[in-house]
Amino acid sequence: MSRKNAFYAQSGGVTAVINASACAVIETARKYPKKIGKVYAGRNGIIGALREDLIDTSKETRSAIRGLLTTPSGAFGSCRHKLKSLEENRAEYERLIEVFKAHNIGYFFYNGGGDSADTCLKVSELSKTMGYPLQAIHIPKTIDNDLPHTDNCPGFGSVAKYVAISTKEAAMDVKSMCETSTKVFILEVMGRHAGWIAAAAGLAQENKKDAPHIILFPEITFDKKNFLKKVAATVKLNGHCVIVASEGTRYADGTFLADSGTRDAFGHAQLGGLAPTLAQMIKADLGYKFHWAVADYLQRAARHIASKTDVDQAYSVGEMAVEFALKGKNSVMPSIVRGNTKRYKWSIGEVSLNRVANKEKMLPRSFISKDGYGITKRAVEYLQPLIEGEAYPNYRKGLPRYVELKNIGVQKKLRSNFKL
Amino acid sequence: MSRKNAFYAQSGGVTAVINASACAVIETARKYPKKIGKVYAGRNGIIGALREDLIDTSKETRSAIRGLLTTPSGAFGSCRHKLKSLEENRAEYERLIEVFKAHNIGYFFYNGGGDSADTCLKVSELSKTMGYPLQAIHIPKTIDNDLPHTDNCPGFGSVAKYVAISTKEAAMDVKSMCETSTKVFILEVMGRHAGWIAAAAGLAQENKKDAPHIILFPEITFDKKNFLKKVAATVKLNGHCVIVASEGTRYADGTFLADSGTRDAFGHAQLGGLAPTLAQMIKADLGYKFHWAVADYLQRAARHIASKTDVDQAYSVGEMAVEFALKGKNSVMPSIVRGNTKRYKWSIGEVSLNRVANKEKMLPRSFISKDGYGITKRAVEYLQPLIEGEAYPNYRKGLPRYVELKNIGVQKKLRSNFKL
Instruction: Report how far residue A93's alpha carbon sits from residue B79's, in angstroms, rounded to the nearest whole number.
Output: 62
Beta-bridge mates of residue B294: A294, B188
Amino acid, single-letter form, for residue B372: G
Question: Residues A219, A121: one domain?
Answer: no
Contacts of B264 in chain A (CB under 8 A): 262-264, 270
Side-chain-side CA neighbours of residue B195 (13 Å)? 28
Which of B228, B24, B182, B8 is closest to B112 using CA atoms? B8
Task: Inform me whether the C-beta atom of residue A285 falls under 8 Å from chain B C-beta atoms.
Answer: no
Q: What is the pLDDT of residue B398?
A: 98
Min mean pLDDT across A24-38, B9-23, B357-371 is at B357-371
Residue A85 is assigned to a structural domain of this protein: yes
Cα→Cα distances B89→B54, B128, B314, Å: 22, 17, 31
Min mean pLDDT across B149-163, B177-191, B248-262, B291-305 is at B248-262
Q: What is the pLDDT of residue B260?
A: 53
More confident residue, B297 or B272: B297
Q: What is the pLDDT of residue B368?
A: 98
Q: What is the pLDDT of residue B353?
A: 96
Which residues 178-237 in chain A show a CB within 8 A of chain B?
A: 179-181, 185, 187, 203-204
Could you tell me which chain A residue has the CA closest to the CA of B344? Answer: A397
The contacts of residue B64 (CB under 8 Å, 6+ apart) are B403, B405, B406
- B271 pLDDT tier (thresholds 50, 70, 90): very low
CATH number, domain with residue B244: 3.40.50.460
For the cut 50, the answer to whether the pLDDT of residue B382 exceeds it is yes
DSSP label at residue B408? P
Q: Are strands B346-352 and B332-338 parallel, antiparallel or unpaired?
A: antiparallel
DSSP E strands in B131-284: the ranges are 135-140, 184-189, 214-216, 241-246
Which of A35, A216, A73 is closest to A158 using CA atoms? A73
Question: Residues A166, A258: one domain?
Answer: yes
For the cut 90, the answer to whether the pLDDT of residue A164 exceeds it is yes
Q: What is the pLDDT of residue B14?
A: 97
| Active centre residues of A (catalytic) | 144
Average the pLDDT over A99-107 and give the result: 97
Which string of b and e fits A147-173 if b means at least 16 CB within 10 Å? bbbbbbbbbbbbbbbbbbbbbbbbbbb
- To test the contact with chain B by mutation, choose from A43, A53, A298, A312 the residue with the greatest count of B C-beta atoms within 10 A, namely A298
Question: Residues A61, A162: one domain?
Answer: no
More confident residue, A71 or A259: A71
Instruction: Report how far residue A335's alpha carbon sits from residue A350's, in angstroms, rounded to the nearest whole number.
Output: 6
Instruction: Tell me the per-residue pLDDT of A166-213, one tens digit each, with 9 for 90 and over.
Output: 999 999 999 999 999 999 999 999 998 899 999 999 999 999 899 999
Q: What is the pLDDT of residue A389?
A: 98
Min mean pLDDT across B34-43, B74-83, B194-203, B331-340 is at B74-83
Instruction: Give, in degrees to the nearest 5, the angle at Cα A333 between A331 and A335.
Output: 160
Residue B89 is assigned to a structural domain of this protein: yes
Report helix, strand or coil for B29.
helix
Which of A315, A313, A308, A277 is closest to A294 using CA atoms? A277
Question: Residues B64, B173: one domain?
Answer: no
- A261 pLDDT tier (thresholds 50, 70, 90): low
CB contact under 8 A, A170 and B301: yes
Instruction: Report how far residue B67's alpha carbon sits from residue B51's, in angstroms, rounded to the nearest whole number.
Output: 27
Q: What percent of chain B has pLDDT over 70?
A: 97
Task: Label each residue of chain A as H, E or C.
Answer: CCCEEEEEEECCCCCCCHHHHHHHHHHHHHCCCCCEEEEEEECCCHHHHHCCCEEEHHHCCHHHHHHHHHCCCCCCCCCCCCCCCCCCCHHHHHHHHHHHHHCCEEEEEEEECHHHHHHHHHHHHHHHHCCCCCEEEEEECCCCCCCCCCCCCCCHHHHHHHHHHHHHHHHHHHHHHCCCCCCEEEEEECCCCCCHHHHHHHHHCCCCCCCCCEEECCCCCCCHHHHHHHHHHHHHHHCCEEEEEECCCECCCCCEHHHCCCEECCCCECCCCHHHHHHHHHHHHHCCCEEEEECCHHHHHCHHHCEHHHHHHHHHHHHHHHHHHHCCCCCEEEEEEECCCCCCCEEEEEEEHHHHCCCCCCCCHHHECCCCCCECHHHHHHHHHHHCCECCCCEECCEECCCCCCCCECCCCCCCCCCC
Average the pLDDT over A83-97 and give the result: 89
Residue B36 is assigned to a structural domain of this protein: yes
Task: Inform me whether the C-beta atom of residue A174 falls under 8 Å from chain B C-beta atoms.
Answer: yes
Identify whether the C-beta of residue B162 lies closer than 8 Å to the C-beta of residue B304: no
Contacts of A187 in chain B (CB under 8 A): 298
Q: How many CB pairs under 8 A join A and B?
A: 236
For the cut 90, the answer to whether the pLDDT of residue B301 exceeds it is yes
CB contact under 8 A, A169 and B304: yes
Q: What percent of chain A has pLDDT over 90?
A: 86
Chain centre distance of CA A373: 24
- B419 pLDDT tier (thresholds 50, 70, 90): confident
Contacts of B276 in chain A (CB under 8 A): 271-273, 276
Identify whether the C-beta of residue B231 lies closer than 8 Å to the C-beta of residue B282: yes
The contacts of residue B147 (CB under 8 Å, 6+ apart) are B113, B114, B117, B140, B153, B356, B359, B361
CB contact under 8 A, B265 and A262: yes
CB contact under 8 A, A294 and B300: no
Task: Inform me whether the C-beta atom of residue B266 falls under 8 Å from chain A C-beta atoms.
Answer: yes
Task: Inform me whether the C-beta atom of residue B168 falls under 8 Å from chain A C-beta atoms.
Answer: yes
Write down which residue in B252, B283, B301 finishes a domain. Answer: B301
Residue B149 is assigned to a structural domain of this protein: no
Give the gap in angstroms from C-alpha B218 to the nearest C-alpha of chain A: 20
For the cut 50, the answer to whether the pLDDT of residue B265 exceeds it is no
Min mean pLDDT across A75-84, A170-179, A315-324, A378-387 is at A75-84
Please tell me the total count of domains within chain A: 2
Q: What is the pLDDT of residue B268?
A: 47
Instruction: Report how far residue B257's alpha carbon sits from residue A312's, in angstroms, rounded to the nearest whole number.
Output: 44
Question: Residues A167, A103: one domain?
Answer: no
Q: What is the pLDDT of residue B261?
A: 52
Q: Which of A165, A272, A297 sits opposite B271 (nearest CB)?
A: A272
Q: What is the sign, positive or negative, of the torsion defined by CA atoms of A159, A161, A164, A166?
A: negative
Residue A415 is assigned to a structural domain of this protein: no
Instruction: Report how far residue A282's alpha carbon sits from residue A335's, in angstroms, rounded to the nearest whole number.
Output: 43
Q: What is the pLDDT of residue A193?
A: 87
Burial class (CB in 10 A: 0-12, 13-18, 19+), A85: exposed
Instruction: Give, in degrees to the nearest 5, the angle at Cα B342 between B338 and B345.
Output: 35
Q: What is the pLDDT of residue A271?
A: 45
Question: Residues B128, B221: one domain?
Answer: no
Residue A149 is assigned to a structural domain of this protein: no
Residue B81 is assigned to a structural domain of this protein: yes
Question: Residues B127, B229: one domain?
Answer: no
- To test the contact with chain A by mutation, choose from B399, B401, B405 the residue with the greatest count of A C-beta atoms within 10 A, namely B399
Annotated active-site residue in B115, B118, B144, B310: B144
Min mean pLDDT across A336-350, A389-403, B30-44, B76-90 is at B76-90
Amino acid, single-letter form, for residue B194: A
Question: Residues B295, B173: one domain?
Answer: yes
CB contact under 8 A, B300 and A77: no
Cα→Cα distances B259→A213, A227, A375, B14, B283, Å: 29, 27, 36, 24, 19
For the cut 80, the answer to whether the pLDDT of residue B267 exceeds it is no
Q: What is the mean pLDDT of chain A?
A: 94
CATH number, domain with residue B18: 3.40.50.450
| H or E element, residue B9 | strand B4-10
Question: Residues B130, B165: one domain?
Answer: no
Residue A410 is assigned to a structural domain of this protein: no
Q: What percent of chain A has pLDDT over 70?
A: 97
Which residues 22-61 in chain B show a CB within 8 A of chain A?
A: 44-45, 47
CB contact under 8 A, B14 and A81: no
For the cut 70, the answer to whether the pLDDT of residue A264 exceeds it is no
Instruction: Tell me the per-residue pLDDT of B34-66, one tens digit each, with 9 for 90 and over.
Output: 999 999 999 999 999 999 999 999 999 999 999
Contacts of B212 in chain A (CB under 8 A): none
For the cut 90, the answer to whether the pLDDT of residue B193 exceeds it is no
Question: Residues A131, A89: one domain?
Answer: yes
The contacts of residue B279 (CB under 8 Å, 6+ apart) are A271, B184, B186, B290, B292
- To test the contact with chain A by mutation, choose from B44, B55, B173 the residue with the greatest count of A C-beta atoms within 10 A, namely B173
Q: What is the pLDDT of residue B359?
A: 80
| H or E element, residue B198 | helix B196-201
Question: Residues A77, A121: one domain?
Answer: yes
- B360 pLDDT tier (thresholds 50, 70, 90): confident
Cα→Cα distances B138→A361, B108, B111, Å: 55, 8, 6
For the cut 60, the answer to whether the pLDDT of residue B270 exceeds it is no
More confident residue, B266 or A382: A382
Structure-derived torsion over alpha carbons of residues A304, A308, A310, A316, reported in degrees to the nearest 10: 120
Question: Residues A230, A320: one domain?
Answer: no
Examine the predicted complex and report whether its ipTM is higher than 0.90.
Answer: yes
The contacts of residue B314 (CB under 8 Å, 6+ apart) are B15, B17, B18, B20, B21, B24, B141, B154, B155
Instruction: Report how far residue B364's alpha carbon sits from residue B194's, in angstroms, rounded to the nearest whole number.
Output: 10
B144 tagged catalytic: yes
One-character DSSP codes across B315-369: HHHHHHHHHHHHTT--SEEEEEEE-SSSS--EEEEEEEHHHHTT---PPPGGGB-
| H or E element, residue B105 | strand B105-112
Beta-bridge mates of residue B304: none
Domain that holds residue A343: 4-142+305-359+391-400
Task: Inform me whether the C-beta atom of residue A341 falls under 8 Å from chain B C-beta atoms.
Answer: no
